[in-house]
Amino acid sequence: MSTAADKTIILITGANSGIGLETIIALSKSSPSYHLLLGSRSFQKGQAALSKIQADHGPALLSPITPIEVDVTSTSTIEATKTYLESTFSRLNILIQNAGIIVHRPCTTLENLRLTFETNVFGPRVLTETLVPLLQKSTNPRVIYVSSEQGSITLRSDPEYPWRDVPGTEYRMSKAALNMLAACDRYGFRSWGGKVTSFNPGWCVTNLTGEEGRVMRERGGARSAEDPARALVEVVNGKRDKEAREESGILYLDGGVRPWSSKIRGGCLRAVVV
């Protein structure tokens, strides 16, 4: 009989819906070797999500799932998460930073920036920093930032980029900052063996822009959140490591990477390799 000591402990933030939820399901179905922590802003939302997962998938679930309250904008829940992990598992193997928002209600530009960066950038930075000591106790520690190619300066500057007219300056800015965080952590964590990936899930059906946005995505042909979830399982299992190391950038769900920055060379925009 396996115990928590034998399992890979994985925490996923924003896991009560969308990509995070589907990743929890995909990981649990793929192997009994994980203990999955379903992070959400409130324990009630997490428990409701778990109940639905169990009702829908039942015996197909191989790995245990535990709901945990972790609001990346709340230092108290971040500290509580660290305390829980220390006392229950004494380590963390993999952290998937999936929580993110697009502000779609009317507000000032300044308020939009503050809300967006608080969840998409400041929170992930603080959460990762807080949990590094627990990640360092793992034999194969990973941090995966669920980002977006909308944060790529290279693609935003490319006149041929098909999504160049998509609005959302504040969101784009936050994902560019998150990509920089991933690049910095990727460099900084080398000394203790931490692997860091910035992951681009593509355009898929989520609750990121509310119910109206969800309907718009469905009608517009957006992909199911199950697609990036399957790709994240591959990242967790190390199947994309070679690709991620040889081609620096935002790992794309269908293979290859999207450039995460840009540099002018002879008048042309090219990806920066770091």
* DSSP letters spanning 221-232: TPBPTHHHHHHH
Identity (one letter) of the amino acid at 93?
A: N
Question: Is the per-residue pLDDT at 94 higher than 90?
Answer: yes
Active site residue 161: no
Instruction: Give Cα separations from 188 to 64, 72, 130, 195, 242 (angstroms).
Output: 32, 21, 15, 10, 19
Question: Is the per-residue pLDDT at 234 higher than 70?
Answer: yes
Which tokens belong to 151?
């944060």
Give the pLDDT of residue 131.
98
Question: Is the per-residue pLDDT at 261 higher than 60?
Answer: no
Bridge-partner residues for 30, per DSSP? Answer: none
Which tokens belong to 260?
């995460």
Give the pLDDT of residue 268.
36
- Please tell me which residue in 34, 145, 171, 252 is annotated as part of the active site: 171
Give the residue with greater pLDDT, 159 vs 217: 159
Question: Is the per-residue pLDDT at 208 higher than 70?
Answer: no
Q: What percent of the chain has pLDDT over 90?
A: 64
Q: What percent of the chain has pLDDT over 70?
A: 82
Question: Is the per-residue pLDDT at 163 higher than 70?
Answer: no
Give the pLDDT of residue 153.
75
Give the pLDDT of residue 262.
46
35 touches 4 (CB < 8 A): yes
> Which of 43-47, 147-151, 218-222, 242-246 is predicted least confidently?
218-222
Active site residue 171: yes
Write down all domains in the chain, each with its CATH number in brackets. 4-270 (3.40.50.720)
Give the pLDDT of residue 240.
87
Which tokens belong to 200?
């681009």
> Which of 104-118, 172-186, 249-263 is predicted least confidently?
249-263
Give the pLDDT of residue 157.
74
- Please tell me which residue in 7, 175, 195, 252 is annotated as part of the active site: 175
CA atoms within 13 A on the CB side of 198: 31
Give the pLDDT of residue 107.
94
Give the residue with greater pLDDT, 257 vs 180: 180
Question: Is the per-residue pLDDT at 194 higher than 90?
Answer: yes
The pLDDT-based confidence of 224 (bands split at 50, 70, 90) is: confident
Kindly report the pTM of this predicted structure. 0.88
Residues 4, 2: Cα–Cα separation, whole Å = 7
